Amino acid sequence: MELTDYLTIVRKRWVSIVLVTVLALAGAIALSLISQPTYQASSQVFVSVSSAGTASDLLQGSAYSQNQVKSYTDLVTSPRVLAPVIEKLGLGVTPEVLAKSVTADSPLNTVLINITVTSTVPKSASDIANAIAESLGTQVAELEKPSSGAASPVKVSTVRTASVPLVAASPKKVRNAALGLVLGLLLGFGIAVLREILDTKVRNEADVHKVTETSIIGTVHYDPDAPDHPLIVQTSPQSHRAESFRRLRTNLQFIDIADHPKTIVVTSSLPGEGKSTTSINLAITLADAGARVVLVDADLRRPSVAEYMGLEGEVGLTTVLIGRAAVLDVVQPWGNGQLHVLPSGQVPPNPSELLGSRSMVNLLEKLTQLYDIVLIDTPPLLPVTDAAILSKLTGGALLVVGADKLQRHQLADAMGSLETVGARVLGLVLNRVAKASSDSYMYYDYSSDAASTGKKRKKKARSTPAVGREPRPPAHTGSRRAVTRPDQTHEVSSARPAPRSEVDDPMSDLFPPIEPQRTSVWPGERMNGGTKEEWPSRQA
């Protein structure tokens, strides 16, 4: 990881770093407050050796003293020295217990010994330190006494007596607080780096590029109001999410300009990433651009297109595939008439077999002849193989990637399943991306009635028909109803449909005819061009 990566981690997870630091600092302060204060008192002794007074004797005595100081230092905590101190002061403890609160050291190249005693009572610390210094001198004199009975040549003299300490030696509150602050920062940063390493969720474009080099052709930001308004392009056409789908439509036109894919599978890795809403909104934007679009709900596991669009879904794709209805009898126009919807129909027991059958291949060929663009909403790639099967039969697949919905290895598995069957991946659509504060300029609403539009959206229920949406058709009764077919041509004298009295079919007011459109219209080309005479003859 580079420095910029660490800075990114700090910027991304600064809240957790600050929280861990505050907790560590508070813990250090709390520990200092609840700890019992202890006091230290120190005495110092000097070790000397008696000599005849000549220079040689003095040098030998000094060398002998330095050699013996280490032994005398260890002698300080021995029972021989501490037992008399316990008896003298009436401490009521064993020498082993007292030794735990006593330390002794000797500065390098000196004959001095420092004796330090730690106690919770200041007066006891000084008394014990002075008593040990006195006891050490007595014991050394006895140990170094010659066998002849003469006086010991080694003398241990107290050169500094211990005074009663006025300030507690521990806890050191300032030091503990500083250590808590430093350790908290290190611990918080370490946890943040560990979380970043272990976090494999896909959240942004950088995470996607760690898995695949496939282009991201669309980014749709997260909107908490989206579940209540899935058809955002229709219910709020001037919203920012609606513009995101228009950008997706625009980017889609630059994919293989010489050979625009006419059949496109829209899928995802896991359920809940937004593939169905992406399919529907993309279909609406393509139809608004002038293309004749058919949206096929090929999710035969959990179909949702008919529910979202307020259409009858009991008769549809499965009905056509088993030969009980013709496709032109079950497609349902929606919106401005440029968009037709083929619902899923009843859920079959063998979805994969139906979607991979010869009947499905023939149906796709027929839809390609009748429409400019065929969008196919399919199940997720990882749970089932339906999407992989259809991706091989079509012009390519759009993979919807839901931010915070899947792990990087799951995205890699989904891409691998498409590569295994040799499917063409047209691009990725990154959905539910969190809005960054640096991208706030992207969310400026250019509409004149933005405020009123936002208020209206909050009041609308999910089941409320969208502006311009066709009424829900009656339930299928088994009889063939007259539906405007995309291969029929109509004489259109004005933008308004003919009155009911002038139309032979009594249901035609529910399904307005498709206005003449130039064939193979693709977003970015001339819209609403051509006349009826320019249309090529299309056979059903």
**More confidently predicted of 265 and 450:** 265
Residues above pLDDT 70, as percent of the chain:
77
Distance of CA 91 to the CA centre of its chain: 62
Overall pTM surpassing 0.85 (yes/no): no
DSSP code per residue over 12-55: HSHHHHHHHHHHHHHHHHHHHHHSPPBEEEEEEEEEEE---SSH
The pLDDT value recorded for residue 63 is: 65
List, as one string, the DSSP characters of 477-527: -SSPP----TT------SSSPPPGGG-SSTTTTTSPPPPP--TT--TTS-T
Does residue 257 have a pLDDT over 70? no
> Residue 247: pLDDT band by 50, 70, 90 thresholds?
very high
If you average pLDDT over residues 431-439, what whole number do you get? Answer: 70
Rg (CA), the chain: 44
Look at domain 205-437+485-502 and name its CATH class: alpha beta
Distance CA 367, CA 283 (A): 15
Coil, strand or helix: which one is 333?
strand
| Integer Cα distance of 302 and 380 in angstroms | 10
Indicate the pLDDT class of residue 299, thresholds 50, 70 and 90: very high
Residue found under tokens 């695949």:
212
Q: How many beta carbons lie within 10 A of that of residue 131, not counting itself? A: 23
Angle among Cα 158, 160, 163 to the nearest 5 degrees reads: 125
Q: Residue 54: what pLDDT?
A: 53
pLDDT at 277 over 80: yes
pLDDT of the residue at 402: 93
Residue 61 is predicted with a pLDDT of 58
pLDDT for residue 59 is more than 60: no
| 236-245, 295-304, 507-516: the lowest-pLDDT one | 507-516
Find the farthest-apart pair of alpha carbons in the chain and give their distance in angstroms, rounded. 145
Render pLDDT for 77-122 as a digit per residue (tens, 0 to 9). 999 999 999 999 998 899 999 999 999 998 888 889 999 999 999 9
Domain boundaries of the chain, sorted by first residue: 3-35+171-198, 39-160, 205-437+485-502
How much is the average pLDDT of 153-182? 90
Q: Report how far residue 123's alpha carbon sits from residue 128's, in angstroms, rounded to the nearest whole number.
A: 9
Q: What is the mean pLDDT of residues 306-312?
A: 93
Residue 343: per-residue pLDDT: 96
Higher local confidence (pLDDT), 449 or 429 = 429
Please report, for residues 21, 26, 168, 178, 302, the alpha-carbon distance to residue 30 in angstroms, rounded to integers and kept in the order given.
14, 6, 17, 13, 56
Mean pLDDT of 261-267: 94
- Joined together, the tokens standing for residue 151 give 């006086």
pLDDT at 149 over 90: no
Pick from 151-155, 319-323, 486-490, 504-508 the range whose average pLDDT is largest: 319-323
**Sheet of strand 397-402, all strands in order from the earlier edge strand to the far edge:** 216-221, 425-433, 397-402, 263-268, 373-377, 293-297, 339-342, 332-334
The size of the chain, in residues, is 540
Considering only 61-70, 312-321, 417-426, 527-536, which range has the smallest mean pLDDT? Answer: 527-536
Q: For residue 395, give the DSSP letter.
A: S
- Residue 483: pLDDT above 70? no
Query: How would residue 49 be classed by pLDDT, with cut points 50, 70 and 90?
Result: confident
Structural tokens at position 407: 């792990």
- Residue 218, phi then psi, degrees to nearest 5: -160, 140
Strands 373-377 and 263-268: parallel
Query: Mean pLDDT over all residues of the chain?
Result: 80
> How does pLDDT run across 382-406, given as a tens digit for each residue?
999 999 999 999 999 999 999 988 9
pLDDT greater than 50 at residue 147: yes
pLDDT above 80 for 531 = no
Looking at residue 259, its pLDDT comes to 73
Q: CATH number for 39-160: choose from 3.90.1300.10, 3.30.70.1130, 3.30.70.20, 2.40.30.20.
A: 3.30.70.1130
- 213-243 core/surface letters (b: 16 or more CB in 10 A; e: else): ebebbbbbbebeebeebbbbbbbbbebbbbb
**pLDDT at residue 540 greater than cutoff 50:** no
